[in-house]
Structure 1
């Protein structure tokens, strides 16, 4: 089986390398208005996200409530609960920073486009995947900050949480609501140009990733991170993915989901959104020098989930193809 290298993953790596060698344009004193551009870009990302949401499709998707419950609880409860028990064991500031980065990853919503693509490839319930991925993004806007902010208080007494929620409201929540309200007028156009909008999303993400890592490199915060820490983060990412995947499988089997719903539960419930994570990190950690470190587990998990889910989706796709062939070609006896 051949794998294609994701150009976006390569672009993310290039952004980190650029931030390491040329951090000056990404720091606060820079002549380049990267903060303003990224703030406007975030608002536009979520405005177009709301514009592409179809209220009618969301209403129709409410019927399969057991599947939706499994996906959303996996995303916003199971993942954080897998990380939360390790919090008391974090003794040093460095350990707390790494734990917070992993917990931020665990509290994020599911992806939208890639979840739907993988569900479609594997032969799953596509309407349910669209519904759950869209719903997850909306829930995450409110739930992710609720998970994270209590743990930002350690060593960040000067952090203004009122400012955080105000910025979250103006940059994320209001644009989403505005997009949903204008969906009848611009929804078709937004879906028609979804490819171009996806490129815009990725460009803003790359800009925010560059700024986050540039600030962390410039302040020297990454000197605390060793190669062993990165290897540990990769192992933690694998642990989160496979444990969550296994638990979702057990619940799907216990609830007697059909094959299509099981596939949707697997892929929508085990993925984490790089888009939401990147833009939320800018809001939640904009005043902290750890912004680059916070994004590190998310970027590692993003690459791993693309690889692992592609393998699993390909396997399901082959199984679906075999089943379809068996239905179309019943056993027959042939004269030789």
Structure 2
């Protein structure tokens, strides 16, 4: 007998998605509280607090053997990085050619191409992979590697795709990634190996997802406080529709293509691929756009696709978590002896 679906059951099964929607509502009602100028001091509480906490928990939770095993899986890593930095820009160029037929604002189309050239984020893809019970080690490795590669590859991609480029702040980006990602991961591993708290009952997964929700809330607070862009309502609607369509297609293609290579990728790897290969970094993207198009009157129009892409990937990711988790469980059940 099938369990009756009630609002309570839906929230329990999709609590991360429910939390994301609640954070969006909260940010819409109280945007100044969680903004950069607000009392939460997000430049410290998010960057060095919530994000570092997520990776500290990841470092504590990861099996040391799985870390060393991940280093040798070069085919999997190549697939993710090639999809991120080669396939996505090429596909987006074709997608933009199609959209130009409908007379969409040319600066918005440039903004879509810019988004496609960005590296993956180091937080949302990892936490969503973990929430869907995917291969978290692979997600962490490729998010970190992708972010470092983006320092070099993103300017080159922008040069080829837009005919203009910029110098990414190398030292600042490396320093931030080291402090907020690598050091917490290493510290988490040291705590796991050398501490006496291995038998803990702390809800680490819930704490980590709670930290992600805090990041999402503050991100949306800043999004809702963005000044008027000067775009028409039709331009904004077209941008939202274009970004959602682009992401849905990329999520579907990444899943289908990765799942095709069943002999090379485990189902848990496929989940990591879906999130890591399609997500794009707002943290690195916005500074790049501000450097590239400083003084341009069209900066707000170029930035709009990235501002929409970031929250949309989180919302769509939240929607996919329970489906991917069920899909993974079905794959495991097929392998069980009858």
What's the TM-score once normalised by structure 1's chain length? Answer: 0.68
Which runs of structure 1 show a deviation greater than 6 angstroms over 4 or more consecutive aligned residues? 87-91, 151-157, 188-191, 273-276
Partner of 1:268: 272
> Match of 2:281, SS?
helix
Residue 295 of structure 1: how far off its partner (Å): 2.9
Q: 2: CA distance between counterparts of 1:13 and 1:302?
A: 11
Partner of 2:21: 10
User: Does residue 94 in structure 1 map to residue 121 in structure 2?
Assistant: no
Partner of 1:208: 219
Q: 2: CA distance between counterparts of 1:15 and 1:286?
A: 28
Count of residue correspondences: 301
Point out where structure 2 has 5 or more consecutive residues left out of the alignment: 292-298
Point out where structure 1 has 5 or more consecutive residues left out of the alignment: 121-125, 329-336
Q: 1: CA distance between counterparts of 2:75 and 2:137?
A: 13
Name the one with the larger helix percent: 1
Q: 1: CA distance between counterparts of 2:19 and 2:290?
A: 23
Matches of residues 1-336 of structure 1 in structure 2 within 5 Å? 3-4=10-11, 5=14, 6-14=17-25, 17-18=28-29, 26=35, 32=38, 36-51=41-56, 52-53=58-59, 56-85=65-94, 92-104=106-118, 107-108=120-121, 111-118=125-132, 120=133, 129-150=135-156, 161=167, 164-187=169-192, 192=202, 194=204, 195-215=206-226, 217-220=227-230, 225-250=235-260, 252-253=261-262, 256-257=263-264, 261-272=265-276, 277-281=281-285, 283-285=287-289, 289=300, 293-308=305-320, 310-318=322-330, 320-321=332-333, 324=336, 327-328=337-338
Residue 169 of structure 1: how far off its partner (Å): 2.8
Which structure has the greater CA radius of gyration? 1
Residue 241 of structure 1: how far off its partner (Å): 1.4
Residue 97 of structure 1: how far off its partner (Å): 1.9
- 8 Å Cα contact 2:83-2:277 kept in structure 1: no
Partner of 2:296: none
- 8 Å Cα contact 2:129-2:272 kept in structure 1: yes
Residue 87 of structure 1: how far off its partner (Å): 6.4
Residues 11, 320 of structure 1: CA spacing in aligned structure 2 closer, same or farther, 3 A cutoff? same
> Match of 1:13, SS?
helix
When the two chains are superposed, the root-mean-square deviation of aligned CA atoms in Å is 4.2
Residues 149, 263 of structure 1: CA spacing in aligned structure 2 closer, same or farther, 3 A cutoff? same
- 8 Å Cα contact 2:108-2:304 kept in structure 1: no
